[in-house]
Amino acid sequence: MHQSGAAGGRGCSLFPLLGVLFFQGVHIVISLEINADAHVRGYVGEKIKLRCTFKSTSDVTDKLTIDWTYRPPSSSRTESIFHYQSFQYPTTAGTFRDRISWAGNVYKGDASISISNPTLKDNGTFSCAVKNPPDVHHNIPLTELTVTERGFGTMLSSVGLLSVLVFIPSAVVVALLLLRMGRKAAGLKKRSKSGYKKSSIEVSDDTDQEEKGECMAGFCVRCAECLDSDYEETY
């Protein structure tokens, strides 16, 4: 009679089930975790990136495969739009023909793709599946894509934000200048009403400025006289 190796703790048995191996009563879990954005919003004509990352307990080999599928809204029909195994194989038929590009790096756990020139017809559900033998059991995350027109309101909000970023610093600078000018004018007005007298330092500064002005004027007159004398000598 055949006796199971697990009974009595002798021998060994190997039962793969949902990514779990039983070896001499020890659970060895083979896990492959995949993550993707649940909701992605894009605009018509602007490139969209569908992110997908994975974590595997095994090293990446040429056996690793990535498959992206698409399902239109209110439909159970799915279509393959991208396949990867050592090389990239975007779809060459259907709605996404020549519009799917590779945007990932399998050695960094990235299985993302991009959609060029998206349209309103691209709305729907996308799924990312990764297999890295012996890690083949995993979750399949779904991404809901919503593509809309970039309306006037969206453009206006962008312009408004830029205007605010430019206007606020300028307004602050102008306000500080006006405040400074107002304080200076108020100080001068207060001095004139109170019969303010200049200090000796201010008087000396004014005297120096007057003397410099007189010297400059005398110098100019002297230069003019010299030019006149030279002019007369020539004749």
Domain boundaries, the chain: 32-151
How many other CB atoms sit within 10 Å of the CB of residue 96? Answer: 21
- Can you tell me the mean pLDDT for 23-40? 73
Burial 164-176, CB ≥16 within 10 A → b, else e: eeeeeeeeeeeee
Identify the residue with better confidence: 213 or 124. 124
* Residue 7 confidence (pLDDT): 39
Q: Alpha carbon 79 to chain centroid distance?
A: 31
pLDDT at 100 over 90: yes
- Can you tell me the mean pLDDT for 9-32? 46
pLDDT at 159 over 80: no
* Residue 174 confidence (pLDDT): 77
Beta carbons within 8 Å of 88's beta carbon, 6+ residues apart: 82, 102
- Can you tell me the mean pLDDT for 120-125? 96
Q: Does domain 32-151 have CATH number 3.30.56.10?
A: no
pLDDT at 224 over 50: yes
Give the pLDDT confidence of 59-78 residue by residue, as tens digits. Answer: 999 999 999 999 999 888 99
pLDDT at 22 over 50: no
Token pair recorded at residue 216 = 């400059």
Look over the chain and give the mean of its residue pLDDT values, rounded to a whole number: 75
* Residue 232 confidence (pLDDT): 46
Give the pLDDT confidence of 8-18 residue by residue, as tens digits. Answer: 443 333 333 34
Token pair recorded at residue 109 = 């756990």
How many other CB atoms sit within 10 Å of the CB of residue 144? Answer: 14
pLDDT at 168 over 70: yes
